Amino acid sequence: MTRISRALAVATAASLALAACSTPNKSGGPNATASASAQQSAAAKGDGTLTIGDVLPQTGSLAFLGPPEFAGIHLAIKEINDAGGALGKPVVSIDTDSGDTTTNIASQSVDKLLAQKADAIIGAASSAVSKSIIDKITRAGVIQFSPANTSDEFTTIKDNGLYFRTAPPDKLQGRVLGDLVVSDGNDTIGILAMQDSYGTGLADQVTKTAEANGGQVVARADYDPKAADFSADVAKIKEKKPKAIVLIGFEETAKVVQELVKQGLTADKFKWYMVDGNMSNTNYAKDPKGTLAGVKGTIPGAAAPTAFQKRLLTVDSKLTNYTYAAESYDAAILIALAAEAAKSDAGVDIAAKLADVSKGGEKCTSYKACHELLKAGKDIDYDGVSGPVEFNDAGDPSVATIGIYQYGADNKYDAAKALEYRKGDIAG
C-alpha cells in the first residue's frame, strides 16, 4: 500500500472513531478517552487554518539542537506568512519542549498541541522520543514530521502514512562513517554506543560497513546513557587497544570523553569519531584545550548556506549552531505547500500531497515561488535548503548528503565548513 492510500485509510478510520468510544492502539489496548476521539475527528476534518506545532528540545540531552531547529521553523513560518500564508490565512505556529527520554515532557507537549488543533507536529529531534509519541500523534490523524530522526526503524514503523522526515536514515550515515574510519587507515575499531534505537542501530551499520571494507570491530560497549559512571565500558574498549574509537551518543558523551582521557585513550593516540548526536561546540567547552583536536564526525545534511544562515539570524541573533536548521525549515515549508496543494489543513490530506510537492513537477526553491506555481495550477517540485528532499514511499528523503567535520584545538568544529560531503541513495 502506498503512503497516499495509507493516509487516506487514516481519514476513514478517523471518521469511524466518531461512532466509537475507543480506538485500538498498536498493542490492541483501548484508548477510551472522549477527548482523543474528538482530537482525531478534528484533525481528520481540519478547520481551515494550518496550525504547525513542534516538539523539540528546549531541555534534555539534545538541548543544543533546539535553537537551530526552532530558528528554521520560525524563519519558514515568517516567509510563508509574508507570502500570503497558506489556504488564504496566516499559518499558526506553536512551540513546545520535547525534553528527552528521562521525562514525560514530549507526551505532555503532544497533548497540548492536539488540544490546540495542530495539523502537523515537527519533531522530535531524538529518535527514541519520537518513538514514544508517534502513536499518539498519528492515531489523531496528525502528521509527525521530524527534521532530525535518523533511526532506521522509522522506515518501516507503523505510522498510518503520517510520518515523514527530512533527515536521512542512519544506514546512510553509518555507511559514510564506517567507510571513513577504514579509509583513514584504521583496521581495528572500538565502538561506544548509547543503548537505544539511535545508538545501537547506527553502531550496527558502522560495524557492517567497516567490516565489509576490511576493518574489524574488536570491541563494542552499548551503555546506559543515564549511567553515573562509564569506566567499565571504556575499560572494555581499552582492553582490545583499537586504532579507532567511534563514539555514538548524546550529551552524556562528554562524560565518556572524560573517562577515555582518564584511562589514557586520548585523541592524540587513538583516532576518535563522533556522530550528529554528540557533535557539539558546547558539551566539551570545559575540557582542556586540544582534548578533541583532530576528532572527526558526521552530520547528515549539507551545510546551511551563508545566505540562509544570515536569514536565520534575523529570527535568532544568538544562533551559533546550524545543525538541522535547514531540515526544520524545509519541513515547515513542505507542510504548507502540501496543504496548499491539498486545499486542506487536515493532516491526512496534507500527507497525501507531501510526496507530490517534493518531486516530479516544476522546480522551485522558495515558498513564495512554489505557492505562485500552485495557484497557477502547476505541479511543483520543491528543492529545499537541506537538499532535493524527494520523499520515497516510506516518507524518507530518497537521496541525502552527509557532511564530515573535524574538531580543532579549541574543542570546536566549524559548523559552516565540512572536510567533505558524501551524497548517497538511501535505498543503496
Examine the domain organization and report whether 151 and 192 are in the same domain.
no
The Cα 34–Cα 216 span in angstroms is 55
Contact between residue 341 and residue 353 where contact means Cβ atoms under 8 Å apart: yes
Same domain (yes/no): 358, 344: yes
Shared-domain flag, residues 155 and 86? yes
41 and 161 in one domain?
yes
Whole-number pLDDT of residue 44: 57
Task: Measure the CA–CA gap between 136 and 395, rounded to whole angstroms.
Answer: 18
Weakly modelled stretches of the chain, pLDDT under 50: 1-42, 428
Give the Cα separation of 253 and 315 in Å (integer).
Answer: 30
pLDDT in tens, 150-172: 888 999 999 999 999 999 888 89
Whether 140 and 164 share a structural domain: yes
| Angstrom distance (rounded) from CA 327 to CA 259 | 33
Residues 12, 140 within the same domain: yes
pLDDT 10s digits, 186-236: 999 999 999 998 999 999 999 999 999 999 999 999 999 999 999 999 999
pLDDT value of position 423: 82
Task: Please check whether residues 13 and 63 belong to one and the same domain.
Answer: yes
The helix-helix angle for 347-358 and 325-342 (nearest 10°) equals 110
Name the domain count of the chain: 2
Asked whether residue 393 falls in the same domain as residue 309, the answer is yes
Same domain, 272 and 290: yes
Same domain, 271 and 284: yes
Long-range contacts of 293-296 (CB under 8 A, 24+ apart): 293/267, 293/268, 293/407, 293/408, 293/409, 293/411, 294/267, 294/268, 294/406, 294/407, 295/267, 295/406, 295/407, 296/180, 296/184, 296/271, 296/272, 296/404, 296/405, 296/406, 296/407, 296/419
Q: Is the pTM of this model over 0.85?
A: no
Q: What is the per-residue pLDDT across 86-115, written as a single tens digit (0 to 9) for each?
A: 999 999 999 999 999 999 999 999 999 999
What pLDDT, on the 0 to 100 scale, is given for residue 39?
Answer: 46
pLDDT at 280: 92
Give the pLDDT score at 427: 60
Q: Which structural domain range is residue 209 located in?
A: 171-300+401-425
Provide the CATH number for the domain around residue 32.
3.40.50.2300
Residues 6+ apart with CB under 8 A from 80: 86, 91, 332, 333, 336, 367
Is residue 178 domain-shared with residue 33, that is, in the same domain? no
CA dihedral 61, 314, 385, 421 (to 10 degrees): -60
Integer Cα distance of 304 and 312 in angstroms: 10
Position 296, amino acid = K
What is the C-alpha to C-alpha distance for residues 421 and 322, in angstroms, rounded to an integer?
A: 16
Say yes or no: 230 and 367 in one domain.
no
